Structure 1
Amino acid sequence: MEVKIMSSRIIKPLYEGNHSPITNSISLSVFDKITYDTHIAIIYAYRPPTPPNGAIEVGLQKALAVYREWAGRLGIDDNGEPAILLNDEGVKFIEAYVDSTLDQELPFKSSPSLLSFHPSWKPKVCPWVLEDGHEEKDSSEGVIELVQVQLTRFKCGSLVVGFTAHHFVADGNSTSNFLVAWGQACRGVEISPLPFHDRTIFTPRNPPVFEFEHKGVEFICKNFSKAHNFNHNSIVDNIVLHKVHYTVEFLAKLKVKASSTKGNNNIKPFSTFESLLAHLWRAITKSRRLSELETTHVRISVDGRHRLNPKVPNEYVGNLVLWAFPTTKVKTLLEEPLSYAAKLIHDAIKKVNNNYFRSFIDFANYKVKEENLMTSADINKDVYCPNVEVDSWLRFPFYDLDFGGGCPYIFMPSYYQAEGVMLFLPSYTGDGSIEVYIPLFEDNLATFKQVCYNMD
């Protein structure tokens, strides 16, 4: 499949009337600063009829006028703090064409060919930090667009939309809300609900309360080396992105099995997410053939919007995620029943509550500079073995991006190679089934395929 680039330009917010924005910048919150310094790429596919590119472009410009963060740039504010500069520099907008029908190219495989559907980007250090960890006061480095869009038309009239968004600006919840707003603007519908932009709401307590340990969790020392002692290209070449589909029937049986505990028939059932994650944690561990004495954990993203007290509006724009880390020995994980892993996951997530979030806010404000710490998130990490990381997009309205011709036929992440990092997505069928994307070493894939549907 050859994707031909027809045009590339920068488009800027389209303000109605004499609107003249006053705010110059938005300082990053403590949650923004600990996430990954990279773009996240997703892909949509639509059957015809679809609106013309011009209508989709204007809709994006209108949405950017409401979500100004995405049209800005990363930099330093007047107080010398990391910020999003609201300078309306705009987003990259590319038009492309494929001289075949969409049906001829389906199904889209999780392969490097997906990269041709969206603008390329290079992970880079944020503009306020140099590689040696010293602060950088020159924001000229932060010129990369925070959103990049590519519209690829097929001969049959089908449309593939490639979308990349920088993680410093927002998490999956916020980004999906922006995408819904883009569709509303294209359809001439009033954008609703409106975004909540205030990132100053996470104020530390006085005096602070460091109730939990955050050093070694969300933060590490700046002199800690993130270097990897292996040949990067040879490692990446051996990682394949595999997709697994779990039906509603399978998930229901798995949930029953995970929630069953000997001697206690009244236990509250674990969620579908907890049950499936427990199953996959064990399946991946089996496929890796690890030492029984090795320790393994799962890094689970936990949204704080409904965990903080008072609750943060769902319309909040920004990152508001911390992580749970259920941990155990390989031998125990594989010898104990599925309910053991499910309970570890459930209990770890439960601990990331209001108290934990408040403790993190206090620590991030009072201790990070004092102890010369930096985020533990490492975008250059390719291998998570013996551990696993999971991001769930099951509750985000990604499928609600409707430009005027209906909801997408396909929604999926772009190709990525981070061994052990799973993505949970609702199936496009809308029947409650789940699709999981899992990068694994090619040598481990055959074993994983043998056990990924085995409940024993």
Structure 2
Amino acid sequence: MSTTTGSKMVRIQTSRLVKPLYDDDVDGGSIPPPTTDSIPLNIFDKVTYNTHMAVLYAYRPPTPSNATIELALRKVLATYRVMAGQLAENQKGNPVILLNDHGVKFVEAVVHDSFDKFLPLEMSPLLLDFHPELNHAEEITLVQLTRFGCGSLVLGYSSHHHVADAFSASNFLVAWGRAARGLELGSVPSMDRSIFWPRVPPEFGFDHIGVEYRKTKTLSGRIVDRDRFAGSDIVNHKVHFTLDFIAKLKARASAGRPNGVAAFSTFVSLVAHLWRAITKARGLSPIETTSVRISVNGRTRLSLDPPVPSDFYGNLVLWAFPTARAKELVSRPTGYAAKIIQDAIVRVDDAYFKSFIDFASQEAAEGEDGDLVPTADMGKAALWPDLEVDSWLRFPFYELDFGGGGPFIFMPSYYPTEGMMFLLPSFLGDGSVDAVVPLFRQNSAVFKQICYSLD
């Protein structure tokens, strides 16, 4: 991700590293924690995306001062030390998080115009101006506060995915807001990444090559027809699904379900609907197969003894891959796609997570020869004919309140990857949902025509 967009509207005022503020720094006395410790990445950290993930928040005035927000950040970093550390390798070449209190890159910027001049906030390269430069960033966490002439504030927040998944990142952000409001942070996060021990003997109940891992000699994903899409640009659509539309969609998707079987969820129904609409818009061949990569949170699925702490901080996600032929997907009702999605998600259960732990642990112990690499890859320009969906519907991102109220905009930053969708709750707070859908321009017109059709 780069902030080189040619825009002169966002002007950087200061840039510095913000370090944790320990109680000892205030009261004097005890020695702060050592800065020579490190935490090894766990198998879930290492199999996820090797990149920073960036989001944007927008606040209407009045908003707290930058100094208040910075002080709160320093306080919360004393509890979430990993966010102020750095990614590195230990002497054995294994990836670790250095607890060296390197600090968070903290940038202050201004825009003399009113924020309303930027609305509606489009998914465009302009969004990158609200973030520090992420290419070759040495920091795990990067923050930019951009003040507008009208008093509005945009927070650009980025953190490395190897350190925290969306569940953990949202908890860190909520704690940051609580610190700014003078409240207790809540439960202390568990940073113990050594809890995922393989079974003895290991049990490989599922195939993980071609799912979480691929061999380095194989292609990273399927080949996109480069001639067909040569010179194509990607259009990011933001689609708003009202509560009424969602209710009708869920009813249609769940029609014909056996008595006593629960209706499909909002998430499953929306993904089924979008999968069908995008397949139609892309004009896939009837015999083409298409799949959706869906994150599955292991915190409620993985049963360990002792159990995974409820406040575990790190990555604990695997993926479901519902797959169908384009012909069946577009010709059969929404409930067909919804059932494929639901069944795929259900299969990523306790047994699957444990099988992955056994497989990944053995690979780490015996096969660190570079033969296998994660399939999670942010380097792809297009996922066509497949999709990925990142759902933030259940995470408390909107609860980041520094003392002036919650944000009126929360959204992912600019990710120009065709087929990588985001689902997030609308700021209206009424149960409606916003979907960010990046497609090639030549497919976008059809998608816009059919995205609200229930057929």
Structure 1 counterpart of 2:11, which letter? K
Structure 1 counterpart of 2:134, which letter? W
Match of 1:28 in 2: 41
TM-score by length of 1: 0.92
Deviations 1:117-174 (A, max 9, x none): 111212x6xxxxxxxxxxxxxxxxxx61111100000112111100111111110000
Match of 2:286 in 1: 292
Contact 1:259–1:267 under 8 Å retained in 2? no
Secondary structure at the counterpart of residue 31 of structure 1: helix
Q: How many residues end up aligned between the 2 structures?
A: 435
Match of 2:242 in 1: 247
Contact 1:77–1:85 under 8 Å retained in 2? no
CA distance in 2, matches of 1:73, 1:365: 24
Contact 1:217–1:376 under 8 Å retained in 2? yes
After TM superposition, give the deviation of residue 73 of structure 1 in Å: 0.7
CA distance in 1, matches of 2:146, 2:53: 18
Deviations 1:237-267 (A, max 9, x none): 51111100000000001001000127x4544
Deviates more, 1:327-336 or 1:71-80: 71-80
After TM superposition, give the deviation of residue 223 of structure 1 in Å: 2.7
CA distance in 1, matches of 2:403, 2:53: 25
CA distance in 2, matches of 1:182, 1:173: 15
Contact 2:224–2:384 under 8 Å retained in 1? no
Secondary structure at the counterpart of residue 290 of structure 2: strand
CA distance in 2, matches of 1:167, 1:20: 27
CA distance in 2, matches of 1:333, 1:19: 62
Match of 1:184 in 2: 178
Query: Is 2:134 the partner of 1:121?
Result: yes
Structure 1 counterpart of 2:330, which letter? L
After TM superposition, give the deviation of residue 445 of structure 1 in Å: 0.5
Structure 2 counterpart of 1:338, which letter? T
Deviations 1:32-91 (A, max 9, x none): 001111111111111111111111111111111110111111112355421001111111
CA distance in 2, matches of 1:195, 1:77: 24
Give RMSD over aligned pairs: 1.9
After TM superposition, give the deviation of residue 103 of structure 1 in Å: 2.1
Contact 1:236–1:417 under 8 Å retained in 2? no
Cα separation, partners in 2 of 1:102 and 1:305, compared to 1, 3 Å: same
Cα separation, partners in 2 of 1:242 and 1:304, compared to 1, 3 Å: same
After TM superposition, give the deviation of residue 225 of structure 1 in Å: 4.3
- Please list, as runs of the form range in 1=range in 2, the aligned pairs for 1:125-164 lying within 5 A after superposition: 144-164=138-158
CA distance in 2, matches of 1:231, 1:343: 32
Match of 1:7 in 2: 14
Structure 2 counterpart of 1:258, which letter? A
Match of 1:131 in 2: none
Contact 1:71–1:86 under 8 Å retained in 2? yes
CA distance in 2, matches of 1:386, 1:394: 25
Structure 2 counterpart of 1:95, which letter? E
Match of 1:133 in 2: none
From 312, 322, 325, give the equivalent of 2:321: 325
Cα separation, partners in 2 of 1:315 and 1:163, compared to 1, 3 Å: same
CA distance in 1, matches of 2:56, 2:231: 22
Deviations 1:399-456 (A, max 9, x none): 1111111111111111111111110000001000000001100000110011111011
After TM superposition, give the deviation of residue 277 of structure 1 in Å: 0.5
Deviations 1:286-337 (A, max 9, x none): 0000100011111100000000113523421111110001111111111111
- Please list, as runs of the form range in 1=range in 2, the aligned pairs for 1:33-432 lying within 5 A after superposition: 33-122=46-135, 144-226=138-220, 238-261=233-256, 264-310=258-304, 311-367=307-363, 369-370=366-367, 372-432=371-431
CA distance in 2, matches of 1:433, 1:38: 30
Match of 1:130 in 2: none
- Please list, as runs of the form range in 1=range in 2, the aligned pairs for 1:434-453 lying within 5 A after superposition: 434-453=433-452
Cα separation, partners in 2 of 1:409 and 1:250, compared to 1, 3 Å: same
After TM superposition, give the deviation of residue 198 of structure 1 in Å: 0.6
CA distance in 1, matches of 2:380, 2:432: 30
Cα separation, partners in 2 of 1:333 and 1:290, compared to 1, 3 Å: same
CA distance in 1, matches of 2:355, 2:241: 37
Structure 2 counterpart of 1:282, which letter? R
Deviates more, 1:94-103 or 1:73-82: 73-82
Deviations 1:376-414 (A, max 9, x none): 112211111111111100011101111111111111111
Structure 2 counterpart of 1:280, which letter? L
Structure 2 counterpart of 1:10, which letter? L
CA distance in 2, matches of 1:267, 1:196: 37
Match of 2:3 in 1: none
Structure 2 counterpart of 1:15, which letter? Y
CA distance in 2, matches of 1:48, 1:319: 35
TM-score by length of 2: 0.92
CA distance in 2, matches of 1:41, 1:52: 22
Match of 2:4 in 1: none
CA distance in 1, matches of 2:100, 2:191: 16
CA distance in 1, matches of 2:113, 2:267: 38
Contact 2:163–2:314 under 8 Å retained in 1? yes
After TM superposition, give the deviation of residue 230 of structure 1 in Å: 7.9
Secondary structure at the counterpart of residue 281 of structure 1: helix
Match of 1:140 in 2: none
CA distance in 2, matches of 1:165, 1:6: 22
Secondary structure at the counterpart of residue 255 of structure 1: helix
Name structure 2 gaps, 5 residues minimum: 1-6, 25-29
Structure 1 counterpart of 2:130, which letter? F
After TM superposition, give the deviation of residue 235 of structure 1 in Å: 5.7
Cα separation, partners in 2 of 1:237 and 1:73, compared to 1, 3 Å: farther
